């Protein structure tokens, strides 16, 4: 076994931060709710917040494994980390 750093593949899907891009990436079961919320939101800051929230959901939908993550969260076995450990990993990744 070598001491080489583990390289993570960039698995982030490229989802446009537009209403159509987000809707296309969402699971069908969530798409209608997104459209309903979108229709009730004016432009401006509230609109941008709505897009951000739903873009995050669409990103998770596209990653796969949603059922396994949900089950682990409900069972209390979802792996967690501290902010310090996350910051440390990020700093190492960015060099």
CA distance linking residue 38 with residue 57, whole number of Å: 14
Distance CA(15)–CA(9), nearest Å, equals: 17
Q: pTM surpassing 0.75?
A: no
Question: So what's the pLDDT on residue 10?
Answer: 54
**Domain residue spans of the chain:** 19-94
Q: State what percent of residues in the chain have pLDDT above 90.
A: 40
CA dist 54 and 17 (Å) reads 9
Q: Do 54 and 46 form a contact (C-beta atoms < 8 A)? A: no
Q: What is the CA radius of gyration of the chain?
A: 17
Compute the distance between CA of residue 51 and CA of residue 21 in angstroms, rounded to an integer. 10
pLDDT in tens, 2-45: 555 455 555 555 899 999 999 999 999 999 999 999 998 878 99
Cβ atoms within 10 Å of 94's Cβ, excluding its own: 6
């Amino acid at each position: 076994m070598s001491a080489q750093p583990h390289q993570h593949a960039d698995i982030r899907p490229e989802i446009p931060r537009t209403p159509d891009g987000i809707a296309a990436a969402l699971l069908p079961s969530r798409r209608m709710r997104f459209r309903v919320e979108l229709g009730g939101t004016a432009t401006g800051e509230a609109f941008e917040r709505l897009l951000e929230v739903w873009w995050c959901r669409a990103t998770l939908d596209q990653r796969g494994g949603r059922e396994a993550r949900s089950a682990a969260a409900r069972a209390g076995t979802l792996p967690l980390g501290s902010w310090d450990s996350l910051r440390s990993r990020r700093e190492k990744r960015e060099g």
